[in-house]
Chain A
Amino acid sequence: MKIRLHYRAFIYQAILLVAFVLVQLLFFSFIEYRDWRDNHREETLAENLEEVVDVTAMNLLLLPLMLALVWWFSRRIINPVRRIADTAAGIGKGRFDERIDTRSMPDDDMRHLAETLNAAFEHYTSAVHRLRRFSGDASHQIRTPIAAMRATGEVAVSRPRSAEDYRTAIGDMLAELERLSFMVEQLLQLSRLDAGTLRERFRPFLAAEVVRQSAQVYAPLCEDAGITLECQVEPGIEVPGIEALACELLNNLLDNAIRHTPRGGTIRIGVSRADNGIRFYVHDSGEGIPTEFAETIFERFSQIPGSRHGGAGLGLALAADIAAVHGGRLAVANPGCHGARFEWTLPLPAKS
């Protein structure tokens, strides 16, 4: 049987109240009885107990009033719980914008609970919105190469052509397929990072080594693009993690930096100790990241409007996830400035 919480609170308090009245009655009676036995044997017991009867009568008269007060009090205490339950039920039914109204609540534990829950709802709602946007963006991005493949194929078979033309058409379709396949790999990699089972594979690696490797791989590309690549490493720092992933993070940052740095520009990559941790950085001399995009560029499929530099917008999301898997954080260190500086900061366990 379901009992409403405020009924229960009322019943408990009512029982307490009645018990209190009974105990009081017994206690008074006992004292009056002893007094009569020891000092007032000349009077009758009934006369001596008159006061007790009066007090009891008064108590009984007051009892309904007290009970009414208790009723009102229980409702008042329990009301916020009902409001919380109603809001949660609403969110459960898909009304994601509902929040618990805390304005009329006194500043107590219940209000604290409501505010904590509101914050959790907020978090949940934004996660749901992100997920919806993500699947929308993903299908859009997957559609583009599919549309290209389809058009190429349809045009190719629409009339007889030379073998060379067919070969070109199939080659074009394969190139689109490659793009699609690459995107699927990136999405798979993201879900692998989300799974959070990578910590078991952590091994210490040398930070300087990863930076050097990454710089070495991208140096010819920089040279070709007329960009100076400067590499500055502090030797001897060991990081617990997955070396291949750290490399992937830096590669993605370098790839991004090269795409946004004009000919004649400079990209600086490096690693150094920072306050109780370590800091990897990639600093380009491109147009920089506007302040309002400093957070959102790490979201999956995000693009800064008006700056198409190729890529589906998954590289930085991957990099940020890799940073997080290692217990660190990837951020734009200088939003709004010319020349974006990405920093991966990572707390290191103190050397014993």
Chain B
Amino acid sequence: MSDASTTARSGILLVEDDPRVSGSLVRGLGEAGYVVSVTATLGEAHAQLDSQTPALVILDLGLPDGDGVQVLRRLRQEGARVPVIILTARDSVVQRVAGLDEGADDYLAKPFSFPELLARVRARLRTARQEAEAFVLQVGDLEIDRLARRVRRGGRGIELTAREFDLLAYLAANAGFPVSRDMLTRDVWHVSSRATSMDKIIDVHMSHLREKLEGGSDRRLIHTLRGIGFMLSETAP
């Protein structure tokens, strides 16, 4: 996991007052190679920001001593370009727009899946480092050319439908990390409502994709993680 090792030095400031949520996030993000410090109140967050600027801020909006948006406002007033991901239980469009207007980079409505948060954190830190996304992604002997929309495995070309390609490219961009069904629903199928179940559709595409990628070979590339989602990886999790 080269991605994780290069970001091991980047500290994440997590502003979240619910210890059950922050406990799991610290552990999960820690295991993914990030150094996380937690503050549970606005006051602590401000104090923490006085002493050092983190590489990324994960911000819960409903804090006991005020609205988390104040942290965001302060960062932006000071001209800090730290990426900020907002977490909140309020998910109305108005709230979302308001958060993004204040200069948030991303917005996750609770309940969110951990793989999703992890993917957002990786994406934000990548953009923060101005890293260009590669056109050609490689996972083991699988090669995905995102510009020409061509896929080869072990030198053999594989024909995919447009949606199958988008799905594979998405899995490959997150290779080595789990991808949840919510992420696929929104990012690959572009369905924003979580009230429509895309599970069966995702399953059908996944099985087609597997057949085309792994047909004849006994080496699995797409792994199903029960209760979590899927992961593209050379080795089983």
B and A form one assembly: yes
- A residues with CB within 8 A of B: 167-168, 170-175, 177-178, 181-182, 185-186, 188-189, 192, 201, 217-218, 220-221, 224, 244-245, 247-248, 251-252, 255, 258, 314, 318
Interface size on B, residues (CB 8 A): 26
Q: List the A side residues contacting B225 at CB < 8 Å.
A: 171
Q: List the A side residues contacting B207 at CB < 8 Å.
A: 224
User: Which of B191, B193, B205 is A220 in contact with, Cβ under 8 Å?
Assistant: B205
Write 9 A-B pairs (CB below 8 A) sorted by A numbering: A174-B226, A185-B194, A189-B194, A220-B163, A221-B201, A244-B192, A248-B193, A252-B196, A258-B200
| B195 and A173 within 8 A (CB) | no
Task: Let me know if B208 is at the binding interface, CB within 8 A.
Answer: yes
- B residues with CB within 8 A of A: 91-93, 111, 161, 163, 181, 189, 191-198, 200-201, 204-205, 207-208, 225-228
| A221 and B200 within 8 A (CB) | yes
Closest to B205 in A: A220
CA distance A178 to B191 in the complex (A): 17
Q: List the A side residues contacting B93 at CB < 8 Å.
A: 201
| A217 and B189 within 8 A (CB) | yes
CA distance A212 to B200 in the complex (A): 19
The dominant DSSP class at the A interface is helix
- Among all A-B residue pairs, the 6 with the closest Cβ atoms: A174-B227, A171-B226, A189-B195, A171-B227, A185-B194, A186-B195
Q: How far is the CB of B178 from chain A (nearest CB, A)?
A: 11
Closest to B193 in A: A248
Closest to A181 in B: B111
Knowing that A172-B227, A220-B161, A251-B196 are A-B contacts, what are 16 other residue pairs whose CB atoms are under 8 Å apart, sorted by A's residue number?
A: A171-B227, A171-B228, A175-B226, A175-B227, A181-B111, A182-B197, A186-B195, A188-B91, A201-B93, A217-B189, A217-B191, A220-B163, A221-B204, A224-B204, A248-B191, A248-B193
CA distance A297 to B186 in the complex (A): 29
